Amino acid sequence: MIPFLAPYFPGEWRSHGESLRLGPAGGPAARALLDDPGRLRQTLEHYRARQWPGADARAAASAWSLHYLWALLAPAVAAASGARRVLPCAAATMRLALDGVNAPVAFTVADLGRDRPDADTWERYGALVWEHLRPLADGIHAASRLPRKVVWAGAVRYLEALFDALHAMGCDVAADRRHLLQTASWARDGRDNPLCLPVRTPPAHAQGPVYRECCLYYLLPGQTQCMACPLARQSAPRVATRVKEISPLP
């Protein structure tokens, strides 16, 4: 594992910090896949055929995006909000590794950026949000018609969980949480902040906070709604929790 990430991924969390790797430059960047709808569509179809045969294409694309988001965000948030480091997180500078079913598992960078303890949220997260998450949402939409807001909501889901984990470790993440998830405008230039999504009113089945958007996981074969689903309960016989394969949180 990259040394400065190690304190944030103890014990069972270690493997999640290893989804960021340092290696020599070379090979196609993640942006090459995200900017090519035909190639990304083939990648998603390969994943669906092997992981979720017969599944709704948008639901399978959403599941793929959650793999992507977790592999990207777990180390990126630990670096930005824990280690206070500015990483080269643009999709054009990170190489994406896929596993045997084409699920995203890791990213490789040629350098580890620099320590910036005094940098504000916008500087530490700017490249990640605008040069990686935005092309991810746009690319998956173009390749599968999955609404962009589903990808952004998946990012919010993981950001909330990662901020909670860092806070439990004693890291001060209050400002980053407030700026990224609760501030409507991106302070650097006033653009609308795509991570500031409206909070949903919990449906009757909810037993706590719900996700900002449904990830469509209940449309996958053999799956049902999770406890945090923002939709009214569907016809599924029970409400299940998310499997660790898609949402690898303790």
Sign of CA dihedral 41, 47, 53, 57: negative
pTM, entire model: 0.90
User: If you average pLDDT over every residue of the chain, what do you get?
Assistant: 89
Beta carbons of 196 and 186 less than 8 angstroms apart: no
Beta carbons of 154 and 148 less than 8 angstroms apart: no
Separation CA 246–CA 250 (nearest Å): 12
Does 222 have pLDDT greater than 90? no
HSE toward the beta carbon, residue 217, CA cutoff 13 A: 28
Instruction: Give the residue-averaged pLDDT of 229-247.
Output: 51
Q: Which of 4, 9, 139, 34 is nearest to 95 (CA)?
A: 34
Instruction: Give the residue-averaged pLDDT of 212-217.
Output: 81
Confidence category of residue 241, pLDDT binned at 50, 70, 90: very low
The residues near 124 (Cβ < 8 Å, ≥ 6 apart) are: 80, 81, 84, 85, 86, 116, 176
Beta carbons of 39 and 142 less than 8 angstroms apart: no
3-state secondary structure of 185: strand
Which residues face 96 on adjacent strands? 107
- Where helices occur in 169-223 by DSSP H, the ranges are 174-182
Confidence category of residue 250, pLDDT binned at 50, 70, 90: very low
Considering only residues 129 and 188, tell me which one the structure prediction assigns the higher pLDDT: 129
Q: Residue type at 4?
A: F
- Look at residue 189 in the predicted model and tell me its pLDDT: 86
3-state secondary structure of 85: strand
- Look at residue 236 in the predicted model and tell me its pLDDT: 42
Q: Residue type at 250?
A: P
> pLDDT tens for residues 97-108?
999 999 999 999
Considering only residues 205 and 135, tell me which one the structure prediction assigns the higher pLDDT: 135
Domains of the chain listed by start with CATH number = 14-197 (1.10.510), 200-242 (no CATH)
Separation CA 144–CA 111 (nearest Å): 32
- Look at residue 238 in the predicted model and tell me its pLDDT: 41
